[in-house]
Structures are given as C-alpha cells and as structure tokens.
C-alpha cells in the first residue's frame, strides 16, 4: 500500500484559484490530484471533438501549474476509483459538484461506494453562483420565467460567495500508473485543430487574462455592443467557464469591483445578468433532466420536421447563401465559438426557415463549440425553437438579412468570414442574391460559383413555418 492521500478529483474546475474542493484537499493532507476522462458514463453526452481539443490544452496547463503532479485516467470513473482505493490509502475524496444528469447519477453511485468503505466525500459548489435547489419559488416549484428567477430568486438570495484564496502549502502525490495527457488521445488524428486553437489561450492564466482584457476593453460597451458580432464587446469567457478555468464567482466579483466611475453600472449589471442566464440554464437542467432531449412544451412533439441532408450540410458548412448565417457557421468552424446573437439567428434559420429539428443544431454545436455545455446548449436550442422554458415564441422568426443590417451594418463580421464578398458595396453584402447583375459582375462574383444561391426563400419559408405553427396551436 502506498502513501495516505486525499484525492482531489478535477472535473469542470480546471483551476487552482477559487477552488473550494481543492483547497479542502490541500488542507486535509497530501493530495493526489486526478482527472478522469470518463466517456463511458457520459454516453451520448461524451465530449464533442472541439471540447476534447480544449480539454487537452487545459489539462496541459493545469498539470504545469501542479508541477507535473496531475494523474490522468480514461474510462469508467467508478472502476478507476475502485482501483485507486486498492493501491492507495485514500483518506477522503474532494470534488466540486457537477450538475449534468449523467454526472449526478455517476457521482451519487461513487459517493455511495466510497461511503461503504468509510471514505468521506467532501463536495462543494465551485461552478454556480447559486445552487439550483436554492433558487425556487415560494411554493418550492422551479421558476419558469427568467426575469423573476433572476430578480426575485437570485438577487434576493444571498450574494455569490467571495472567491477563496489558494494555499501555497499543498503537497502532492502522483500515481506512476496513471496516463499522460497525450495518452488520453483527446487530439484528432487529422489535425484540423491547429489553426482553431490560435484564437485562444487555454488554461487558468489564459482565462484570467481574458477577463482582464474584457474588463478593460469590452465591459464599457457591453450593453448595445453585446449584440454586435463585429465588435469586441463580449467577454468570450464561455469555454473558460465551461471547463472551470475560471469560476463565475471570480468573474462576478471582478465585474462588480470595476469602478462605476469608468464603467456605468448599466454595463456591469447587464453583464452579470448574462451570468444569470447561465445559472438559469443550469436551474432548468436540474429540474428538467430531460432538457437535452425532450421538448419542454409537448406541442412541439407533433411538429412535422423536415429531413434534408443537403440543406443540413449547407447550414453546417456555412454555404446557405445567406451571409450572416454563413459567417456564423464559419466562425464556429474556424474558431470553435460563435457570437450569441448569431447563434440565435442561425438557430432560428435551421429550425424555422429550414424546419429541421433542433436536435440537428444541438448535436452540431455540441461537436464544434469549445464552450459546448449541456445546460446552456440544450436551453439555448429550446429557447430558439420556442419549445423551452421562457423561450422565444415560435412565431418570432428572425429575418437574417434584417438582423445582419441592424447588428452588422458595415458587414465587418460577415467579411471576416466571407472575404469573397469584399468587393460588393456594403448595402448588397447582406443579401447578395438581391444585387443587380452588373453590381455582382463588378465585384467579381458569380452566384452559384463564388458564393451560393440561397438554399431557401426567406419569405416563403417563414410563411410556411407560421402556417404549420398555427395549425398546431389551434
């Protein structure tokens, strides 16, 4: 039997600062810090391709911060714990809670198994500002509308706890039988990821730097700016938050601490409110574990969804002939991220103009997003469809051309991802198919060759979607 250890199980908390469970393990004694890539219990929610790439880099960074003492494993977490217990004198296991239904089920089983062996589990809240079960209505039922959830539920509850400081006294044990990060095989065999990662700095330090940059350069134009995909007004913290390289508590308190002399209260409150939307997604998932699969509004179960592989592929590849849609899908493909406004517009286009089931979009985002997150992604797709809790009504169909003219008036965002349209006068970039032939010719564009014809007529498809919707609701 080797040394007596307290295991800290890193999961969605890949950081050393403001990590309550890691702090507890460090204070209890010698820490065996572990990460388990558990694609067995995850089932169909095993990490998508982009997430695995992020994870590889994030673990590399974490391992460096731990002086190379991180022990990694791949497989069923319960079996790995059984095996660790047979080789180490495990005095306790510390973790920060996860909220996805499959993780809750798995962790409950592991906690029971450890309890039967008299090994205590110390669990903490490391990734939500408020526990889902704490924010409920006065009759203990979950909120179904965001504004009262946030204003009456969250803001009237205790304020988010202050970040905890990290200890410098921790000492570690490493399992020589563990895998290296490379042996987890997270990177793709065909290396499509190399350019994508250049847009990001994964890891705790990268997350802290991103926050600092945003607080200095983005926060003061957040309200208004957050809807403009061509501006640098959003934080792009979502993948860092998803992997727990930074906690929402650190972000919340850093934003609140910005002097309101330089940044109006309006922007700070607006930004924190978006963190509230993240909380609301987790609240929805906690109380509706079927959120990733099942329409919350059952009337959508009868919707006659279309099935057209060519159209789905055109949407995925950013070849729909509608520039804002194509720019968004290419941003996703090239950077592993898509601006929130554009997520809403490409989602509406898929579900309403093309009338494809939202599962197609949810799965594609799951595979391509660096911030792919079960709670936010499921809630986001149900919101876009109108099938979810406090969702956009189905009849509110975004017109991608009007959205583009309003939120990307100079086409800065579109041209970044569709440089082929550069020579078109700006007023025609939003809908090249409406440009006169001589304008297209002068810009060197042949529709169908240099840039696609639209795969669907926006007005007709909108009308058809509304007809179907009213037949369902009547």
Ligand X SMILES: Cc1cc2nc3c(=O)[nH]c(=O)nc-3n(C[C@H](O)[C@H](O)[C@H](O)COP(=O)(O)OP(=O)(O)OC[C@H]3O[C@@H](n4cnc5c(N)ncnc54)[C@H](O)[C@@H]3O)c2cc1C
Residue span 148-187 as binding mask against ligand X, x where in contact by CB under 6 A, dash where not: ----------------------------------------
Choice between 360 and 462, CB closer to ligand X: 360
Choice between 114 and 234, CB closer to ligand X: 234
Choice between 234 and 465, CB closer to ligand X: 234
CA–CA dist 211, 209 (Å, integer) = 5
- Taking the complex as a whole, the smallest distance from the CB of residue 11 to ligand X amounts, in Å, to 16
* Cα distances (Å, whole numbers) of residue 26 to 21, 77, 110: 9, 22, 21
If 0-12 CB within 10 Å is exposed, 13-18 middle and 19+ buried, where does residue 61 land?
A: buried
Residue 242 is a binding residue for ligand X (CB under 6 A): yes
End-to-end CA distance of the chain: 69
Q: Identify residues 342-381 at the interface with ligand X (CB under 6 A).
A: 343-344, 347, 365, 369, 371-373, 376-377, 380-381
Residue from 61, 125, 250, 281 touching ligand X (CB under 6 A): that is 281
Q: Which residues pair with 33 in a beta bridge?
A: 8
Residue from 50, 84, 114, 241 touching ligand X (CB under 6 A): that is 241
Nearest to 57 by CA among 214, 184, 209, 168: 184
Residue 58 is a binding residue for ligand X (CB under 6 A): no
Name the one residue in this structure whose structure tokens are 């941003």. 331
Chain position whose Cβ is nearest to ligand X: 380
Residue 252 is a binding residue for ligand X (CB under 6 A): no
- Taking the complex as a whole, the smallest distance from the CB of residue 436 to ligand X amounts, in Å, to 35
Residue from 274, 319, 367, 390 touching ligand X (CB under 6 A): that is 274
Q: How many Cα atoms are found within 13 Å in the side-chain-facing hemisphere of 424?
A: 28
DSSP secondary structure code for residue 232 in this structure: S
Residue from 47, 275, 397, 424 touching ligand X (CB under 6 A): that is 275
Residue 226 is a binding residue for ligand X (CB under 6 A): yes
Integer Rg of the chain from CA: 24
Give the count of residues interacting with ligand X (CB under 6 A): 27
Task: Write b or e for each residue in 424-459: b if 16 or more Cβ atoms lie within 10 A of its Cβ, otherwise e.
Answer: beeebbbbbbebeeebbeebebeeeeebbebbbebe
Name the one residue in this structure whose structure tokens are 């860092």. 240
Nearest to 300 by CA among 417, 75, 473: 473
CA–CA dist 313, 452 (Å, integer) = 13
Residue span 380-409 as binding mask against ligand X, x where in contact by CB under 6 A, dash where not: xx--x-------------------------
Residue 247 is a binding residue for ligand X (CB under 6 A): no
Residue 238 is a binding residue for ligand X (CB under 6 A): yes
Residue 331 is a binding residue for ligand X (CB under 6 A): no
Choice between 178 and 378, CB closer to ligand X: 378
Stretch in the footprint of ligand X (CB under 6 A) among 194-202, 253-261, 276-284, 435-443: 276-284
Contact 102, 43 (CB under 8 A): yes
Contact 308, 398 (CB under 8 A): no
- Taking the complex as a whole, the smallest distance from the CB of residue 182 to ligand X amounts, in Å, to 27
Chain residues in the site for ligand X (CB under 6 A): 226, 234-238, 241-242, 274-275, 277-278, 281, 340, 343-344, 347, 365, 369, 371-373, 376-377, 380-381, 384
């Amino acid at each position: 039997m080797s040394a007596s250890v307290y295991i800290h199980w890193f999961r969605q908390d890949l950081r050393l600062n403001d990590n309550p469970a890691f702090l507890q393990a460090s204070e209890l004694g010698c820490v065996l810090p572990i990460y388990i890539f558990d694609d067995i219990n995850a089932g169909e929610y095993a990490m998508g391709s982009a997430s695995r790439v992020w994870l590889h880099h994030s673990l590399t960074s974490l391992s460096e911060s731990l002086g190379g003492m991180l022990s990694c494993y791949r497989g069923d977490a319960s079996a790995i714990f059984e095996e660790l217990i047979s080789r180490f004198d495990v005095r306790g296991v510390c973790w920060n809670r996860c909220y996805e239904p499959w993780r809750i089920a798995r962790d409950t089983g592991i906690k029971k198994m450890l309890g039967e062996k008299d090994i205590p589990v110390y669990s903490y809240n490391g990734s939500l500002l408020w526990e889902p079960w704490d924010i409920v209505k006065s009759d203990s039922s979950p909120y179904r509308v965001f504004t009262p959830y946030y204003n009456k539920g969250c803001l009237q509850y205790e304020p988010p706890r202050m970040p905890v400081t990290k200890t410098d006294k921790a000492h570690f044990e490493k399992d020589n039988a563990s895998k290296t990060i490379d042996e987890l095989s997270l990177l793709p065999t065909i290396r499509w990821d190399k350019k994508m990662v250049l847009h990001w700095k994964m890891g705790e330090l990268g997350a802290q730097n991103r926050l600092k940059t945003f607080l200095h350069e983005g926060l003061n134009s957040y309200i208004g700016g957050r809807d403009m995909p061509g501006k640098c007004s959003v934080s792009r913290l979502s993948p860092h938050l998803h992997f727990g390289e930074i906690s929402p508590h650190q972000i919340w308190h850093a934003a609140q601490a910005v002097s309101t002399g330089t940044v109006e209260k309006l922007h700070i409150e607006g930004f924190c409110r978006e963190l509230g939307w993240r909380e609301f997604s987790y609240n929805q998932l906690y109380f509706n574990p079927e959120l990733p699969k099942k329409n919350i509004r059952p009337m959508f179960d009868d919707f006659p969804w279309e099935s057209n592989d060519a159209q789905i592929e055109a949407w995925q590849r950013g070849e729909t002939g509608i520039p804002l849609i194509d720019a968004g899908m290419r941003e996703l493909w090239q950077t592993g991220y898509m601006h929130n406004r554009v997520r809403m517009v490409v989602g509406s286009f898929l579900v309403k103009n093309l009338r494809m089931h939202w599962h197609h979009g949810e799965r594609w985002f799951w595979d391509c997003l660096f911030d792919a997150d079960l709670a936010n992604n499921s809630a986001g797709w149900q919101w876009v469809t109108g099938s979810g809790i406090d969702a956009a009504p189905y009849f509110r169909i975004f017109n991608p051309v009007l959205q583009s003219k309003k939120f990307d008036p100079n086409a800065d965002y579109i041209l970044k991802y569709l440089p082929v349209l550069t020579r078109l006068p700006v007023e025609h970039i939003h809908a090249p198919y409406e440009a006169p032939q001589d304008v297209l010719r002068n810009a060197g564009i042949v529709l169908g060759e240099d840039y696609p014809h639209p795969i669907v007529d926006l007005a007709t498809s909108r009308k058809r979607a509304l007809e179907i919707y009213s037949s369902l609701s009547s």
